[in-house]
Structure 1
Amino acid sequence: MSIVTETAVKALLSTKSSTQVRPRYEGSNICTWIGFKHVNYMVEEAVLDHFRQSELPARGLYEEHGLGLDIVGLDTRILHAFHMDDLATATVTPHTKDADGTIGLKVVIEVERDGETLKAVTSKVRVALRIDGYLAAAEPAPEALARFAVERLGGHAVTDVEPSAAVVEAAAGIEHDPSTIVRSDDPSDPLLAALTQGANAYAWKWRIPYPYCHFTERLQMSGYLRLMEEAKDLFVAERGISIKSLLDDRRWIPVVPHSSITLTDEALMEEVLYTVFTVEEVFKDFVYTSRMDTYVVRDGKPVLTSTGKITHGYAVIENRRDWKLVSLDQRVLDAVNGTATGSVRDA
């Protein structure tokens, strides 16, 4: 019997849900604070539970109807920091005004501090239901959900990111043998060089491993979040201000008030993914914004699979419990702006 009913879909698209969420222990990398990636994981958990409460769980959608629940858009603002063991309340509100073929949701996460309830996170989420093409065809998507069922992810996305002529030329003729690809940021690689040409950017390529994927074949949103976190780590290391060096020198840690990722196409397990991290703007020596774009090469052509943005600042650790934001000093500004480059990190 189908799990999809008109009542369930109506609840999904019109009824608020609420659930309690905790940050995962893994995300507490520095003291007891939780990084942006794991904050977004809490957003993801709230979205999955919204589907469960609507009686449309991700497992049922896939096993019974061959529909993979994919988060294809995520735009998250962090207003207050999360700590290890925080128990927060996430409220999910359907938001279906945009007719882009996805399910729109707004997520607000609140946490208690000293007896006061604070709005800690706001996020806009887009969800697509991907028709499984790996196994034998399932029955057609039930009519109530058919408008959200897609044969390929990314069709909803509108972006002004286009590969340059140099990137198109460098990609022509590339044929990867996944078994021979290792992680590399070699600046002599023609496509890596083209992707960073004329930009304040860092790029590397690697083979997409299965732990970053889901539904048997494709890179999932949490995988892109891991890539965005790693992009920052590799970029600052290449510029001579690695996370550990600033921790050791001055107890500075990176903080992220805003991040967003939009899937524009699919990236498949064991494809070679090119990731580009480009600094766009520094605001008043306080925070800087960067863009992350990812590409695969198919039939000799570069295919953009995601684009996103992240805002970074720095905070100084005052004690095991507290930190405060600081302005970027000249060493950090020079590194971020590319006017003083440290040693290149080995790939």
Structure 2
Amino acid sequence: MTNQRKIIHIDMDCFFAAVEMRDNPSLASLPLAIGGSRSSRGVIATCNYPARAFGVRSAMPTGQALKLCPQLHLMAGNMDKYKTVSRQIRAVFQRYSDVIEPLSLDEAFLDVTDSSHFAGSATRIAEDIRRVILAETGLTASAGVAPNKFLAKIASDENKPNGLFVITPADVAAFMATLPLAKIPGVGSKTAERLAKLGLRQCKDIAGCDLALLVKHFGAMADSLIKRSQGIDERPVRVERHAKSVGVEHTLATDIAAYQDCVNALSVLWPKLQMRLANQGNQGLHKIGVKLKFSDFRQTTVECQSNSVSLEQFMPLLQQAWQRRQQQGVRLVGLQLGFNSPNPGQLSLPF
């Protein structure tokens, strides 16, 4: 009989901003954001909690952030410094488990199912990881403990910042019953609205829903909705390997009908892709691509070969993808990169 899986998701609190506040405590009381500038277009990579109180959020266009918070303190950021701190945090993880799946510089999954630390208590392991990170880096982390990755990631957001939330196997059914469907990855605001029109707002509502109705309205997504609404996630924690590709995508709150809006949405994804790439190390870039999903759930990807990448290089690909919409709106945008083999050269990507 296999052991019940014990998964921890660690998520650093406003990581880039937290590093800057640690190094300059006078910034702690100011609304602070990393990314963009007052004199040029850009997007917010992350922001601290005083800035979030004004409605500023990660991936928000800098101009919009400044309208919400005119006194926002903007910093360009220092990726080399953030990478150094990320390596410190990764070293802490390795004291507790060899089964680690980094998601970005500031978050990772750990499988501690077979760990002997603290008599195998995942909760106590997560508590100690947070304690050690704070002691050695001066930064706080939030953690989620659960039987699978999906639940652990949701749990880590429950008591942010600097919190811990545990979902035991016995708790799963009750926790999932009242969980809003909008919290399931892939369910954006628009999909949540469509679900609500069918009377589906919480995960428990899916259980009593006719499968044919779900398939009719949500196609291939119906299977994922059913599994996630029951707290089912069979994906293993994958030990870090050189990725063949990386990508970021976003399901939009409302479908886009104007090309410039699509350009803006793609631009917002750019800093997220930069963060993903910062965690990959030196790899040879082979191709870049743009993905669009339309209102009728068709999707298309346009790619081209390239050994370097910048935001401007995605624009011709976006134009080609946009022309395939057949008068439909766009409900999802994504950026993709494909790699050759490990370490043949340094990827050229400015921060």
Normalised-by-shorter TM-score class: under 0.3
Q: Give the number of the structure whose residues are more often strand, by fraction.
A: 1
Q: Give the number of the structure whose residues are more often helix, by fraction.
A: 2
